[in-house]
Amino acid sequence: MRWALGISYLGQAYDGWQSQPSGRTVQDQLEAALARFADRPVSTLCAGRTDAGVHGLMQVVHFDTEVEREPFSWVRGTNRYLPPDIAVQWAQAVPAEFHSRASAIARRYAYVLLESPVRPSLEAGRAGWVFRPLDEGALRDAARRLLGQHDFTSFRASACQARSPVKTMRRVDVARRGAYWRFEFEADAFLHHMIRNIMGCLVQIGQGLQPPQWMDEVLAARTRDAAAPTFAPDGLYFLGPVYEPRWGLPDRTAAYDWLP
């Protein structure tokens, strides 16, 4: 039987999502908890890997097992063996043709940024930080230039394993609440470090160090050297994949109401 799980986690204590020999990854923690609950090894596949320090509001994984449990048992039973900063939010049986990664038609990320003369304290590790004021008009102008299909090579990490740098950015939203900015991105897929590299450019533009049209120049250059340095992972959240309605999977978790 194939199951899909929605997972939320804080990434501060982990070396990213994907399993590593150190065992200090979210996948390692999840699979160890599933194995203890199911009393046998469980191997998972995720919708999108996240880097060290990056958080997840609704990572989706799937796995196959012969163990029969009710959906609520997979949630509560697995959470019993997980650390406090990782939790299964929901569990649902899915058809054998469902694949957490291949069935996704889009993916969503948010970046939370604190604009303040004082560094984060309560938000340390959970929000990026700038101490210079940002221009909302310039940010929105630059963000809209990312929409559509582009070659995002300039925002691609050297270790990126994606077959093509061409992606379609469906949505970029910029919002502010008090001292906090929230940038939300939706695309068919993302490259390694793509959002953090885009954020580096947006911050430079928002601070007036570059004009909004610089974003066009960076895209056209198709070289990583053209863009700003990679921004901190602290404020980056994987909001989760987007699936067709026919799968009947949740599209949000309670954490969506908590995130600024």
Active site residues: 51
Structure tokens, 140: 């929105």
Spatial neighbors of 257 by CB under 8 A, at least 6 apart, are: none
Closest CA to 171 of 146, 150, 202, 201: 146
Closest CA to 157 of 98, 114, 100, 197: 197
Q: What is the C-alpha separation between 103 and 99, in angstroms, rounded?
A: 5
**CA-angle at 68, arms to 63 and 73, nearest 5°:** 85
Q: What is the C-alpha separation between 112 and 155, in angstroms, rounded?
A: 19
